[in-house]
């Protein structure tokens, strides 16, 4: 399985033989140094699989780091803004972490196996940051990105698909819980997590099991409207779910060339993940406390419900006096809600105290000319789509 990487720009994931076979369009992109499909056949149909049946996505390129050692729990709690002191074994938590100035580096998920073993998953590369931050803690950090193959199995029929695949009693798994399975002789970890805002799971196993696992899941999902799912479709679902994407909706503090582009958690709608009353210290606590006390937060990240049906990609947002008050970071015509939605970074008090009389200037391309649309926006909850089935226990089954 080892690939000679001396001369190659991009790595292949352990599922590559299967994803490339499933691809009818040969459209790929570079995710964290790996070649993965943006689209297999038609984005609309792939999106539909995630909202109607089961979608399968190769998640292997996601940054994955194992944190092992006597201080693992204390270290993780120190690293992130959320209070994880009471986190139970075999659960997963959504987290963000900041630099010393209280500016967000990335968001991700943390998996707790025991108080001495964790796994952190995220979009950007943070091996260096983790090692630097771990100074003084008795922990060993290993980059396991290459050594754990991962799949996202998402959608209303995903529980049935995985049950058919061999995950017994999976419907009893609660959101943000994980369970270890032995399926066809393979050790497979399944967590009820995902990036689509729907019922869904993520599956983690050794690369040597990857191809067989893919094949068996495909067979299990045959009657359950299973379809592989590329990055374009994922982008659609994550906007509907109101999930943020690093370096799209905000600039990662470690990547921002211009210091003014760095954002605190309060500026990207992640204030709920900052626990200033946490007993122990965490990276960025002082700065965040100051920001909160002095009320110096400058921006906010909000959801917009926009008139008309033309997505407001990259639109500038204005107040009624035509003053520039922000920018759209992600936009979508939502097929399930039939709504024109967007995530936008606005200058406060817009989006917080002022939610009306906000406009997006949309440039809609029409055969080499642009139609300029001045569309009224309503500030709404960023979580546009949140179906009941997402958190239902036991999960919905199609049998």
Q: Within positions 124 to 163, which residues make up the interface with another protein, using CB under 8 A?
A: 156-157, 160
Residue 100 engages another protein in binding (rule: CB under 8 A): no
How far is 30 from 323, CA to CA, in rounded Å?
37
How far is 233 from 36, CA to CA, in rounded Å?
13
How far is 99 from 262, CA to CA, in rounded Å?
10
Q: Within positions 338 to 377, which residues make up the interface with another protein, using CB under 8 A?
A: 338-339
Residue 333 engages another protein in binding (rule: CB under 8 A): yes
Residue 230 engages another protein in binding (rule: CB under 8 A): no
Residue 399 engages another protein in binding (rule: CB under 8 A): yes
For another protein, which stretch binds (CB under 8 A), given 38-46, 108-116, 191-199, 282-290? 38-46
CA distances from 263 to 51, 78, 205, 254 (A): 32, 20, 35, 11
Nearest-CA neighbor of 392 among 238, 175, 169, 168? 175
Nearest-CA neighbor of 165 among 183, 177, 189, 147? 183
Residue 109 engages another protein in binding (rule: CB under 8 A): no
Report, in Å, the least distance between residue 232 CB and another protein.
14
Residue 223 engages another protein in binding (rule: CB under 8 A): yes
Q: Can you name the residues that pair with 11 across neighbouring β-strands?
A: 34
Pick one of 10, 144, 287, 336: the residue that binds another protein (CB under 8 A): 336
The answer to whether 356 and 289 have CB atoms below 8 angstroms apart is: no
Q: What are the φ/ψ torsions at residue 346 (nearest 5 degrees)?
A: -115, 155
Residue 289 engages another protein in binding (rule: CB under 8 A): no
Cis peptide before 174 (omega within 30 of 0): no
Residue number with CB closer to another protein (110 or 332): 332
Report, in Å, the least distance between residue 312 CB and another protein.
14
Residue number with CB closer to another protein (309 or 324): 309
Residue 307 engages another protein in binding (rule: CB under 8 A): yes
Residues that bind another protein (CB under 8 A): 41-42, 44-45, 48, 51-53, 156-157, 160, 223-225, 307-309, 333, 335-339, 398-399
């Amino acid at each position: 399985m080892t690939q000679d990487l001396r001369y190659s720009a991009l790595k292949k994931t352990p599922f590559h033989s299967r994803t490339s076979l499933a691809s009818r369009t040969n459209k790929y992109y570079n995710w964290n140094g790996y070649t993965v499909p943006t689209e297999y056949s038609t984005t609309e149909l792939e999106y539909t699989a995630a909202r109607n049946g089961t979608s399968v996505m190769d998640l292997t390129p996601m940054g994955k780091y194992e944190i092992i050692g006597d201080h693992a729990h204390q270290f993780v709690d120190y690293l992130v803004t959320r209070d994880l002191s009471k986190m139970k074994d075999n659960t997963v938590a959504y987290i963000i972490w900041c630099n010393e100035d209280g500016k967000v580096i990335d968001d991700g998920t943390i998996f707790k196996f025991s108080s001495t073993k964790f796994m952190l998953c995220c979009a950007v590369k943070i091996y260096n940051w983790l090692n630097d931050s771990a100074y003084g803690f008795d922990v060993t950090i290993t980059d396991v990105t290459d050594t754990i193959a991962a799949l996202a199995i998402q959608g209303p029929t995903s529980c049935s698909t995985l049950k058919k695949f061999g995950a017994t009693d999976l419907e009893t798994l609660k959101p943000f819980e994980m369970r270890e399975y032995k399926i066809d002789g393979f050790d497979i970890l399944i967590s009820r997590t995902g990036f689509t805002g729907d019922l869904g799971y993520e599956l983690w196993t050794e690369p040597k099991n990857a191809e067989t696992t893919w094949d068996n899941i495909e067979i299990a999902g045959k009657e359950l409207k299973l379809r592989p799912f590329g990055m374009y479709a994922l982008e659609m679902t994550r906007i509907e779910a109101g999930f943020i994407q690093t370096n799209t909706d905000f600039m990662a503090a470690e990547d921002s060339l211009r210091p003014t582009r760095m954002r605190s958690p309060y500026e990207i709608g992640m204030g709920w993940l900052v626990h200033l009353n946490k007993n122990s210290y965490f990276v960025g606590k002082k700065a965040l406390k100051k920001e909160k006390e002095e009320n110096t937060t400058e921006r906010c990240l909000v959801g917009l419900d926009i008139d008309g049906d033309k997505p407001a990609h990259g639109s500038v947002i204005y107040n009624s006096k035509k003053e520039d008050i922000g920018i759209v970071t992600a936009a979508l015509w939502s097929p399930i809600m039939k709504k024109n939605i967007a995530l936008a970074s606005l200058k406060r008090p817009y989006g917080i105290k002022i939610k009306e009389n906000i406009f997006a200037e949309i440039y809609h391309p029409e055969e080499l000319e642009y139609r300029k649309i001045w569309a009224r926006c309503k500030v709404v909850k960023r979580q546009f789509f949140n179906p009941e089935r997402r958190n239902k226990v036991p999960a919905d089954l199609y049998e």
